[in-house]
Amino acid sequence: MVRSALRTPWEPRTSRCTASTSTPQGRSSSRRWTISRIARCRNRGPRPRADIGAREVYYDQVVKGGIQVFPEYNGALLATAVDKASTATDTEDINAELRKKLPSSVEILDSAEAQDKDSVTVTAATAKKYNLKTLADLKPVAGEWTIGAGSEFKTRTQGWVGLKKIYGVEFGKFQPLDAGAQSTLLKLLNSDKVQAANIYTTDPAIVEDKLVVLEDPKNLFSSQNLTPLVHKSGVNDTAKAALNGVSAKLTTTDLLDMMKKLVNDKEDAATVAKEWLTKAGLTTT
């Protein structure tokens, strides 16, 4: 989904691990890029690499060691790359399944409290007109509507497939967008070119544009804690400790605050990362 943007990949080099975050121009990319900078600023993290693409592209690289660290979303990782039939929805169950089912070459480290979940979001005017509060409320109207999302949303259980299976909701049309096209998606939604959109829950536009995130009582969208995915042989104990130290401090509120600075104020990711490290009481030397 458009989320494939918060990542910064970390590619291998001879004596130091590398981290990856996909395309930094997108919302999701910006978030992951900043997380990678946080680890790097502690002088224990890998060298960030951008423009890595969607999970369908980078996951295999992590498994093979081409990328050694990736700031992942645990729920999406499980449901889209590890076990598409999994029904786990909370953090504890998701991580237990990942530890059991991931290939032997990789592992997850500690999850942060911070989450950035998928959502189906509409404008306030649309929600009021059609009395929309939950995903189930879309069923009578979705057939006449278009939903906008990253192209991968169309084939994912936590997306188009699950909306139909779990809620009986099937949109009339699907408007695919490339990773990083969040600003375009928001323009389409606010201009009613699409009537619903897959927007992530820490996007500052939800508050600024007074958008309505539809409730998900049946947990179509699972927990999405930021969780480092690492290639075991490429990450030493010092780097793991640095990454776990970040996870222990990072909250959803922190993510939202950083996204405002990155997306709205156009601040530099490394600067935002250093500011957060100082606020969190983590050393930058």
Three-state secondary structure readout of 45-102: CCEEECCCCCHHHHHHHHHHCCCCEEEEEHHHHHHHHHCCCCCCCCHHHHHHHHHHHC
Q: Examine the pLDDT at 171 and tell me if it is beyond 70.
A: yes
| Alpha carbons 264 and 70: distance in angstroms, whole number | 25
Tell me the percentage of the chain whose pLDDT exceeds 90: 55
> Could you report the per-residue pLDDT of 11-44, keeping only the tens digit for each?
433 334 455 544 334 445 555 555 555 655 554 4
> In the predicted model, what is the mean pLDDT of residues 121-148?
98
Contacts 24+ apart (CB under 8 A), 216-220: 216/119, 216/134, 216/135, 217/134, 217/135, 217/136, 218/135, 218/136, 218/166, 218/167, 219/89, 220/135, 220/158, 220/162, 220/163, 220/166, 220/167
Cβ-based neighbour number of residue 43 at 10 Å: 11
Average pLDDT along the chain: 84
pLDDT of residue 40: 55
- Contact at 8 Å (CB) between 243 and 5? no
The pTM (predicted TM-score) of the whole model is 0.71
Q: Cα torsion at 78, 81, 83, 87 (round to 10°)?
A: 40
- Contact at 8 Å (CB) between 30 and 84? no
For residue 106, give the amino acid letter: V
Q: Per-residue confidence at 273, pLDDT binned at 50, 70, 90? A: confident
Instruction: Name the one residue in this structure whose structure tokens are 């997108």.
Output: 26
- Contact at 8 Å (CB) between 91 and 225? yes
Q: Examine the pLDDT at 97 and tell me if it is beyond 70.
A: yes
| Alpha carbons 247 and 249: distance in angstroms, whole number | 5
Q: Which residue did the predictor score with more confidence, 50 or 56?
A: 56
> Could you report the per-residue pLDDT of 192-226, keeping only the tens digit for each?
999 999 998 888 899 889 999 999 999 899 899 99
Nearest to 1 by CA among 192, 203, 227, 267: 203
Lowest pLDDT segment from 11-20, 91-100, 248-257: 11-20
Q: What φ, ψ does residue 155 adopt, rounded to 5°?
A: -110, 0
Q: Which residue did the predictor score with more confidence, 53 or 262?
A: 262
